Structure 1
Amino acid sequence: MRYTADLRAEVTEAFKTRYGAPPEVLVRAPGRVNLIGEHTDYNDGFVLPMALERAAWLALRARPDDTVTVRSLELGDEVSFRLSALERGEGWAEYLKGSAWALQEDGFHLRGFEGVLRSDVPLGAGLSSSAALELATMRAFAEVSGFPWEPKRMARLAQRTENAWVGAQTGIMDQLISACGEAGRALLIDCRSLETEAVALPAGTAVVIMDTATRHKHVESGYNDRRRQCEEAAAFFGVRALRDVSLADFRAREEALAAACGDEVRRRARHVVSENARTLAAAAAMRAGDAPALGRLMDESHASMQGDFEISSSELDLMVSLARQQPGCLGARMTGGGFAGCAVALVREADAPALVAAVSQRYAAESGLEGAFYLSEGAAGASAERVA
């Protein structure tokens, strides 16, 4: 189940084939799985993601001009653009161009580069393939342009890429965990202060990521609608963001919120307020090594996303239900922006292989889709190495 593809070697050899010489630099930036804390990041709340061993890898060398040329191995496509003439378009190149735009808007002087890209973070699966690409691009620019790598600053700029260039109103979580992940740990992130705390999984447990083989696009989904509804609820409470509303405050005024803004807005706000509380409780359970408590909170989170936030799907619900029926499963939930993509289960480590075998077979039989299943330990954030 553990994914062990050597993308470092793959992009190095592909670069040699494409350009006739070894690359000067190798950069990588990981995807992520969120254990709990969904749609809380853009509400200034708390999230608990883990950087994945799956990552975007980029082999590159600097150019003497302002041209960027990158070939994607998995897409079989090559894009090229000038840093002095950035124009919006469509497709995966927008994450590269948007990253360059955000850096230049923030005052960085960029140099061009040419490279070969390979990512094993599945596209549209809710595992932050876009954030991995953005952080890999920014790490590449840091190397060829000679500016210091500041992970949290780069995460903010990558979020700006997503919001202002690509048009998806995502929060900071995906970019921050890709920039700042720690090996063997998840990170409790305060999305307002950007303070982080590394926390380990309870002993004897494993995280199983379960890909439903369904896909989404944030810009075309209800993601931006949910964000607008959360902002409407925050305005009703007179606060900067729903992070500032306690469960007690919400319960005291939820009927008035429904009367003023509608029941749908009330339910969206209830998810965010309760999810913040669950995320803090989950981090406390991890500190205490309390695996059953962590699993229960994951179950509660899925119910909230399914009912109040309405971002699950029949395939995600099926995958979660099948996982929960297996021995050793402590809890399961959908993960990511929603509507499609992946679920995640907390499992007794010894029971993980049997769970994957059983759920894989039953999911295919009941959905007609071939799911993908894999384990991942916490990975380090975006990094670079010079090639000798």
Structure 2
Amino acid sequence: MLKETVRKSFNERFHTTGAVYAAPGRVNLIGEHTDYNLGFVLPGAIDKAIILEVKPNGTESFNVRSIDYNEETSFVANGQKTPYAWANYILGVIMELKALGFTTPGFDCVFGGNIPLGGGLSSSAALESAFAFAINDMNGFGLSRMQLAKVGQLAEHNYAGVRCGIMDQFASLHGQKDMLMKLDCRSLDYELVPFKLDGYRVILLDTNVKHSLASSEYNVRRAQCEEGIATIIKRHPKVESLRDVTLEMLAEVKAELSPVVYNRCEYVVKENIRLNAACEALKKGDILSFGKEMYGSHEGLSKYYEVSCKELDFLVDVAKSVSGVIGARMMGGGFGGCTINVVAEANHDEFVAAAVAQFEKQFGKKPTVYDVVISDGARKIS
């Protein structure tokens, strides 16, 4: 078990015991590419996490060992990056806390994780959240979970060079068992939405594909959305982002937009509508209607936002062909990564067998299968 592995390694390395903390990865059930358009997302924390054991050492040095990478480093918080990419996330958290006026005393630490790397489950955000939560708790800084999420986000911007939104860190810190979080990406207000999956499971299928298009096309999509907004604002000056746009407003300017920009904007407007409908369905316990919105999300991402790929589309088509699968879609930025599927427990094995066999026949390799459970966010374990 991960906790025991971390504790054993910490004791062997530092000959003492410390406090143990955890922060999870996340999935996003619906609401993709809506975050930078200041719309809504619907993430949940999962039962796969980063776990760390940590103890102050009375110096200014941070001595940290990564079990997964089998690497160890010592650094001081002077802003100078370390040779280890994973350690820069931790340094980033310490430096962003420092920017807020909080000095973190040196500590010894060992950490490990069981979040699949590269599957779009936000292992980096879990790492940032685990350290931000632990440092805040150990030192009594008194920062809120939302403040800690912002610390993690800025650490990723400034020390990992990734201009991420706040959803991943937010979900890792605020997660609750059997609850999804409807996050307003403009105000950062959120509400908990019940996710009672009686008789159903959440299954991720990782294509193990990452097309090089992802980062460049992400910037293109952002620019296309901004182009659409600039045109709409001429008629509707109160509009700030696509989140404020209705389908009627969009129809008014259709002739002034290229077909591609119109499709991008229409997808985002409809995805926010789908997300709100999905939340209402969950509140009523209507899991079947929720699943239909997931399928609609994938169709929009594939045909209108054009961020899917043949591997993701293939897996969603397989999902549609197996009874008991009520919803499936690509998850994340696109051009690879995972599909997320809500499947009846009775059809779990049938679905996994069909997806693995058909994918292998089509692409010559197997997708990786992960069962995930919606779980609690960052916390102190012991």
Quick one: structure 1 residues 331 and 385, their matched pair in 2 at CA, closer, same or farther if it must change by over 3 Å? Answer: closer
Unaligned ranges ≥5, structure 1: 1-5
SS of corresponding position for 2:22: strand
Q: Does the Cα contact within 8 Å between 2:66 and 2:110 map onto a contact in 1?
A: yes
The Cα shift of 1:195 comes to 2.2
CA deviation string 1:102-154 (max 9, x = no partner): 22222222122221111111122111111111101211221343312411111
- Identify the range of structure 1 (298-307 vs 153-162) with the bigger mean alpha-carbon deviation: 153-162
Give the equivalent residue in structure 2 for 1:287. 283
Letter in 2 for 1:309: Y
- 1:327 matched to 2:323? The reply is yes
SS of corresponding position for 1:380: coil
Give the equivalent residue in structure 2 for 1:248. 248
Q: Summarize the alignment of residues 264-343 of structure 1 with structure 2, pairs less than 5 Å apart.
A: 264-343=260-339
From 10, 19, 22, the equivalent of 1:15 is 10
Give the aligned length: 376
- For 1:316 and 1:288, the matched residues in 2 are separated by 30
SS of corresponding position for 1:214: strand
CA deviation string 1:84-104 (max 9, x = no partner): 243376622222222222222
SS of corresponding position for 1:107: coil
CA deviation string 1:234-257 (max 9, x = no partner): 333333222111222122223323
The Cα shift of 1:212 comes to 1.5
- Identify the range of structure 1 (124-133 vs 308-317) with the bigger mean alpha-carbon deviation: 308-317
From 158, 165, 175, the equivalent of 2:169 is 175
Q: Does the Cα contact within 8 Å between 1:205 and 1:291 map onto a contact in 2?
A: no
Q: Does the Cα contact within 8 Å between 1:37 and 1:276 map onto a contact in 2?
A: yes
Letter in 2 for 1:264: V
Give the equivalent residue in structure 2 for 1:377. 373
- For 2:215 and 2:142, the matched residues in 1 are separated by 35
Letter in 2 for 1:67: S
Letter in 2 for 1:182: Q
- Identify the range of structure 1 (122-131 vs 352-361) with the bigger mean alpha-carbon deviation: 352-361
- Identify the range of structure 1 (125-134 vs 235-244) with the bigger mean alpha-carbon deviation: 235-244
- For 2:316 and 2:63, the matched residues in 1 are separated by 41
- For 1:217 and 1:160, the matched residues in 2 are separated by 25
SS of corresponding position for 2:342: strand
Give the equivalent residue in structure 2 for 1:39. 33
SS of corresponding position for 1:213: strand
Unaligned ranges ≥5, structure 2: 234-238
- For 1:250 and 1:271, the matched residues in 2 are separated by 11
Quick one: structure 1 residues 99 and 352, their matched pair in 2 at CA, closer, same or farther if it must change by over 3 Å? Answer: same
From 139, 148, 154, the equivalent of 1:160 is 154
- 1:362 matched to 2:364? The reply is no
The Cα shift of 1:178 comes to 0.6
Quick one: structure 1 residues 162 and 225, their matched pair in 2 at CA, closer, same or farther if it must change by over 3 Å? Answer: farther
Q: Does the Cα contact within 8 Å between 2:37 and 2:241 map onto a contact in 1?
A: yes
Q: Does the Cα contact within 8 Å between 2:85 and 2:160 map onto a contact in 1?
A: no
Normalising by structure 2, what TM-score?
A: 0.91
Identity of aligned residues (%): 38
Indicate the RMSD between aligned Cα atoms, in angstroms.
2.1
SS of corresponding position for 2:85: coil
